[in-house]
């Protein structure tokens, strides 16, 4: 499976490394044309407003919407989760409006309030190591969205069909099982498309 990582900002190399460990082939995506050659796309962390501006500048908003609407899996981590949300708390306009959820930016506080923890994630048999850095929170989801994990009563991992989102950075640990889950989603999607 060729898994693209949107290479506008964020931990691109770390995601590509995790994809490789999980048995996929990671590709840095810098141009919209590359979307035609991948089986799934990861939108990494960074600063959501900056990522949104760069996506608009380089034509990625419509291109990624079309990619996702075509049944191709998309996985947003940290700021990538914010970019995927249909609704953002406060005045900020949503970017891709893909996942039916409301997200609060920087809900876990500033950089110095970053932390690591073990999370129970649905579909992964033992706790997953997660790194939270100025992490957003999923405040509410529609019934189309499946909650995969919670931290202190708040939603931090969710899935909607072929879309996956995490508040944290799975690529900053040696635990690549969330990437494995995403590659499995890409395999399922490509099987569906092949039929």
pLDDT of the chain along its 195 residues, tens only?
A: 999 999 998 889 999 999 999 999 999 999 999 999 999 999 998 888 899 999 999 999 999 999 999 999 999 999 999 999 999 998 678 999 999 999 998 666 655 568 999 999 999 999 999 999 888 999 999 999 999 999 999 999 999 999 999 999 999 999 999 999 999 999 999 985 543
Of residues 15, 162, 169, 179, which has the active-site annotation? 169
Beta bridge partners of 88: 103
Q: Burial letters for 3-39: b for 16+ Cβ neighbours within 10 Å, e otherwise? A: bbbbbbbbbbebbbbbbeebebebbebeebebbeebb
* CATH number of the domain located at residue range(s) 2-194 in this protein: 3.40.50.880
Residue 171 bears catalytic tag:
yes
Note if 93 is an active site residue.
no
What pLDDT digit, counting tens, does each position of 99-118 carry?
999 999 866 665 556 899 99
162 noted as active-site residue: no
End-to-end CA distance of the chain: 17
- The residue ranges of every structural domain in the chain are 2-194
Catalytic residue, chosen from 14, 95, 162, 171, is: 171
Contacts of 191 by beta carbon, 8 Å cutoff, 6+ apart = none
* pTM, full prediction: 0.94
Which residue is associated with the tokens 């590509």? 16
Q: Which of 14, 78, 95, 180 is catalytic?
A: 78
């Amino acid at each position: 499976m060729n898994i693209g990582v949107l290479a506008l900002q964020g931990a691109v190399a770390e995601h590509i490394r995790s994809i490789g460990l999980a048995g996929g082939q990671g590709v840095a995506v810098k141009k919209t044309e590359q979307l035609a050659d991948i089986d799934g796309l990861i939108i990494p962390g960074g600063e959501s407003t900056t990522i949104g501006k760069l996506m608009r500048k380089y034509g990625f908003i419509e291109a990624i919407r079309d990619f996702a609407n075509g049944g191709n899996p998309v996985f947003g981590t940290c700021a990538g989760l914010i970019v995927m949300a249909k609704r953002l708390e406060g005045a900020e306009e949503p970017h891709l409006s893909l996942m039916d959820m409301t997200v609060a930016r920087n809900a876990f506080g500033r950089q110095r309030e970053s932390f690591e923890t073990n999370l129970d994630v649905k579909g992964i048999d033992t706790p997953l190591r997660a790194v939270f850095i100025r992490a957003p929170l999923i405040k509410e989801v529609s019934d189309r969205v499946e909650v995969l994990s919670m931290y202190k009563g708040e939603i931090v991992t969710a899935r909607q069909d072929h879309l996956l989102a995490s508040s944290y950075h799975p690529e900053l640990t040696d635990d690549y099982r969330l990437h494995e889950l995403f590659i499995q989603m890409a395999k399922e999607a490509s099987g569906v498309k092949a039929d």
